[in-house]
Copies of this chain bind each other. A is one copy, B any other.
Amino acid sequence: MEKSIANRLKRVRDALETESADALLETHPPNIYYLSGFTGDAGILLVQPTSVTLFTDGRFTIQAKEEAPGVRAHIHRGGPLVGSVGAYLRRKNRIRVAVSPTRLSLASWTILKKAAGKGVRWVASDGIVDRLRAVKDAAEIDRIRDAARVGSEVMEETIHLVRPGVTELDLAAEIGYRMRRKGASGESFEAIVAAGPRSALPHARPTSRQIGRNELVVLDLGAILRRYCSDLTRTVYVGRAPGRVRRWYQAVLGAQAAARAAVRAGVTAGEVDAAARNLLQRKGLGRYFVHSTGHGIGLEIHEDPKLARGQKGLLEPGNVITLEPGVYIEGVGGIRIEDDILVTPRGAEVLTTAPREFLEI
């Protein structure tokens, strides 16, 4: 880990130079972990050209020493943490500090600015670390691969438990349990198990509703292994599916295949989205595809790049993304198929292995 952290810090410092900043003030916990190894809940990291300082409180003294040995810990006592950072910066004359306006509350900003005084110059700059994180190194890809394997195994096992009378919450309990038994530290998000008309809600929470006959069931789950997330979705039918449901399923599967075929380093994220979207539109299902085609995964379940309409950013080797087209028909049900994909120089490697064929249970 230490070597990759050194490499990341170097890239942050290069980015700071481009932004004409001397230091990065980082408040987002996954970014702090990425640049230091520290996993505590409360911390602010200050990256300077020759030092990295972690501002945290007494609860995390031991943890900071263990997890972030290369970092100078500044143990803060009382008052808001940003106040401590501001007081520290006040002593650095004319330092230019990059901060992220989307990750700093108006209240923290007010305290920080006041504590730092007029000698500090602020550079508003979102996404310096997020952009680095979008390209995974070999160790990160290994971890996501593990998370994808566990997610896939649990998906296959859970699909075998789907039957009339089982509740959505029963299946959600099995998902969480089986993941942890396979070594996951937790779930990337609370698993979605949505049956019947509820499957038409892309963000449904599992309920005590029993699964009935002749229903679609959407299962969307992800495992965290060594801090990295996976995210996959399968949709099955309980009973013998009517023709239209089969056609919808094949269309979604086709849309996902089209997106996958479009993936390679150098294409825009928007082109991948368009590949899935155009296919669903040709099948007359475009208006039922109410979200974007995918997103990056890694330390967080949603990160860069976003695979949405019109996104101009280019895919790079080392991006790990989901492809998750879906159709949602109010009152009837929804179908979504989602896999995790590593972007390679010439194409895509699928990391999730659960079968994608239409399954009638």
A183 within 8 A of B: yes
**Contact residues in B for A172 (Cβ distance below 8 Å):** 180, 186
Q: Which one of B185, B190, B202 lies within 8 Å of A207 (CB-CB)?
A: B185
In the complex, what's the smallest C-beta–C-beta distance from A301 to chain B, in angstroms? Answer: 12
Count of chain copies: 2
Docked pose: A205 CA to B63 CA in angstroms? 11
Digit string of A92-130 for contact with B (CB within 8 Å is 1, else 0)?
000000010111111111100000000000001010000
Contact between chains at A62 and B201 (CB < 8 Å): yes
**Contact residues in B for A202 (Cβ distance below 8 Å):** 59
Docked pose: A177 CA to B190 CA in angstroms? 13
Within A141-179, which residues are at the interface with B (CB < 8 Å)? 169-170, 172-174, 176-177, 179
Contact A181-B170, Cβ < 8 Å, known A40-B203, A106-B104, A203-B59: yes
A291 within 8 A of B: yes
Please, which residue of chain B has its CB at the minimum distance from the CB of A191?
Answer: B186
Docked pose: A63 CA to B205 CA in angstroms? 11
Docked pose: A202 CA to B57 CA in angstroms? 12
A200 within 8 A of B: yes
Contact between chains at A105 and B101 (CB < 8 Å): yes
